[in-house]
Structure 1
Amino acid sequence: MSDIDNDLMFQILCSSLLMRCVLVFSGLLFCVLVTGVITDAIKDAVSRPRPGFFWRCFPDGRGFFDNVKKDVLCIGDKDVVKEGHKSFPNPKRLVSFYLFGSVVP
């Protein structure tokens, strides 16, 4: 084989390797994006409080009770309280599950 054939084979091999790397990277990026959307949707639907939710809802440590509605009033910041309800599921577990499903046929 001549040097031209060797150079052509090397270029084909490099382009094939580069294409595989691009496909793997794009697959991982897609996995992270889809998993993030699914995780946020499930967290909003399930809405199980985190362990520190009491301190998010009552920053001063005292609870307030509404006598008219017969319910507890949360006085914490609305965004902080909303994030306190997002404890399930763990996004790392969903990413590992997705990768396992995509690697194992």
Structure 2
Amino acid sequence: MDVADHVSEVSLRAVLYMIFMWLDKQTPFIRHIEEEELWMYRYPSIPSIVPKWGLYILLVLIPAILFLIEYAVNQRLKDIIKGFYALTLVYMINGIFTVMLKLLVGRPRPNFFMRCFPDGYGTDINHCTGEYRGHMDGRKSFPSAHATFAFSGMFFMTLRMCRILQIKDPGRHKGWKCLTVIIPVIFAVLIGVSRTCDYHHHYSDVLFGAIMGMGISYFVYYAYYWAEGMSPDEIRKSLANFY
């Protein structure tokens, strides 16, 4: 990659990040809630087990550690840069899709009632007495952003580790390799489950978020690495079969 390629890649991510930040500040769809449904949203409002800052640290720290280990072993800076661009694109695409769905669906969180009425009293959810930002965020349950980001980032690292450790090749230490590559996904699972334990999300929010995050991650990984190790003739044949 030359300088122009790097500028193009960085500029794309900067634009996507600005779109994400703009969308994140928009008001979600105000979904009608029947009084008989309120029992689903009366769970306590407690702090997140994994706060946003903790999630962001994890999304940066784990890939950074793995990239450093990979560079120390292979000394291939170009491959690290390629992986960095792919991972950051995963985060940007995932973030935009997640926020768009949150705004369009407008599903209340399990603790929405307590966000709307902090004192625990009230029935007209169209006239909340709680903090505006708090109860508006309470209408952004689907999908779980913690789940989409955790699974997109950690599943990407799992795919990359499978490639680096040559998981498909026969040889010794197969069990250790399998255990190693699945560790990032275990972190993602724990983060997703925590969102149901602190009543910030329904189970379906987390499940869909996990599937969506892994889907985006696989798509970007395939786009960046599908032709790796193939000769020009093999690439042409593959493209011919694809189209």
* TM-score, length basis structure 2: 0.32
| Aligned equivalent of 2:143 | 89
Q: Secondary structure at the match of 1:73?
A: coil
| Aligned equivalent of 2:12 | none
2:126 and 2:87 map into 1 onto residues whose CA distance is 44
Structure number with greater CO (CA < 8 Å, separation at least 6) is: 1
Amino acid at match of 2:221: V
Decide whether aligned partners of structure 1 residues 32 and 72 sit closer, same or farther in structure 2, where only a CA change above 3 A counts.
closer
2:140 and 2:126 map into 1 onto residues whose CA distance is 20
Q: 1:4-23 counterparts in 2 under 5 A?
A: 14=75, 17-23=76-82
Residues 47 and 85 in structure 1, CA contact (< 8 A), matched pair in contact too = yes
Q: Which runs of 5+ in 2 are unaligned?
A: 1-73, 149-209, 227-243
| Aligned equivalent of 1:28 | 87
Amino acid at match of 1:75: T
Deviations 1:36-80 (A, max 9, x none): 111111101100000000000000111055xxxxx7521111100
Residues 107 and 139 in structure 2, CA contact (< 8 A), matched pair in contact too = yes
Percentage of matched positions with identical amino acids = 31
Give the drift of 1:33: 1.4
| Aligned equivalent of 2:221 | 103
Give the drift of 1:90: 2.5
Amino acid at match of 1:88: F
Decide whether aligned partners of structure 1 residues 33 and 72 sit closer, same or farther in structure 2, where only a CA change above 3 A counts.
closer
Residues 48 and 85 in structure 1, CA contact (< 8 A), matched pair in contact too = yes
Residues 64 and 74 in structure 1, CA contact (< 8 A), matched pair in contact too = no
1:24 and 1:82 map into 2 onto residues whose CA distance is 36
1:77 to 131, 140, 145: 131
- Pick the structure with more strand per residue: 1
2:126 and 2:79 map into 1 onto residues whose CA distance is 56
Decide whether aligned partners of structure 1 residues 103 and 33 sit closer, same or farther in structure 2, where only a CA change above 3 A counts.
closer
2:105 and 2:220 map into 1 onto residues whose CA distance is 26
- Pick the structure with more helix per residue: 2
* TM-score, length basis structure 1: 0.70
| Larger radius of gyration between Structure 1 and Structure 2 | 1
Amino acid at match of 1:27: A
